[in-house]
């Protein structure tokens, strides 16, 4: 498997989907999702020019990324998995973007850590567009109130929204819902779309797509 070639193909598909949606090819950023992948694989993708990466576990990211960041200046690391409150300090210290702000307790702890550490990762709110019991994210009908709380009461600059549609549903309506909530709240960054549906997501206005297996190859099932 050639990750460099995969990366080129994904970039070309992103550009084509943007053009098909009457958008500029560079209006969509690629977040390469490297969870479960070893640093050797990640280095190949960095060498091919990719600078923005996503990981879903704080502890795994801590074991892989401080070294990679030291080797290559300008890397940007996104947390795309659920944040446990005992990991908030570590997440604020390591990540450049936290995409999974999804409840008041975590939002308060992030605000406290930002104050304490003087480091401000960009913050997105995760919305559970399918209202799935097992999935993280704020309920869609509570998103406006939660965004207001984060912004006015906690002083957090929320710049993006993120969603993971239910696996067995047509993702389009979920992407449309996330886009609507973003529009109504003056939010510009829309993180939506993965290996199987990033082209659809771009059609619905995604400004960031999170692509793992199409670049790195399949992950061992967990």
Interface with ligand PLP (CB under 6 A): 33, 35, 56, 80-81, 164, 194-196, 210-214
Q: How many CB atoms lie within 10 A of CB 149?
A: 15
Report the nearest approach of ligand PLP to the CB of residue 145 (Å).
24
**Residue 93, token pair as written in the block:** 């210290």
Report the nearest approach of ligand PLP to the CB of residue 119 (Å).
23
Report the nearest approach of ligand PLP to the CB of residue 218 (Å).
8
Contact between residue 76 and residue 51 where contact means Cβ atoms under 8 Å apart: yes
Report the nearest approach of ligand PLP to the CB of residue 2 (Å).
17
**Residue 89, token pair as written in the block:** 């300090």
Distances 24 to 16, 21, 79, 125, 207 between C-alpha atoms, Å: 10, 9, 26, 25, 11
Q: Return d(Cα 65, Cα 32) in angstroms, integer.
A: 14
The residue among 177 and 194 lying less far from ligand PLP, judged by its C-beta, is 194
- By Cβ distance, which residue is nearest to ligand PLP? 212
The residue among 15 and 136 lying less far from ligand PLP, judged by its C-beta, is 136
Residue where the block lists tokens 């297996």? 213
């Amino acid at each position: 498997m050639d990750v460099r070639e995969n990366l080129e193909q994904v970039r070309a598909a992103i550009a084509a989907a943007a053009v098909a949606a009457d958008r500029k090819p560079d209006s969509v950023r690629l977040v390469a999702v490297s969870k479960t992948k070893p640093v050797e694989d990640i280095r190949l993708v960095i060498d091919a020019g990719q600078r923005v990466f996503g990981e879903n576990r704080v502890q795994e990211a801590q074991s892989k990324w401080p070294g990679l960041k030291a080797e290559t200046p300008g890397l940007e690391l996104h947390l795309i998995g659920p944040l446990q409150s005992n990991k908030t300090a570590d997440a604020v210290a390591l990540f450049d973007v936290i995409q999974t702000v999804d409840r008041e307790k975590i939002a308060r702890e992030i605000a406290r850590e930002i104050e304490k550490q003087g480091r401000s990762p960009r913050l997105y709110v995760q919305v559970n567009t399918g209202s799935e019991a097992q999935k993280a994210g704020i309920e869609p009908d509570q998103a406006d109130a939660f965004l207001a709380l984060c912004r006015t009461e906690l002083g957090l600059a929320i710049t993006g929204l993120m969603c993971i549609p239910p696996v067995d549903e047509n993702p389009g309506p979920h992407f449309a819902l996330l886009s609507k909530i973003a529009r109504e709240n003056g939010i510009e960054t829309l993180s939506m779309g993965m290996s199987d549906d990033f082209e659809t997501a771009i059609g619905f206005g995604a400004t960031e797509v999170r692509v793992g297996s199409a670049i790195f190859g399949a992950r061992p099932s967990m």
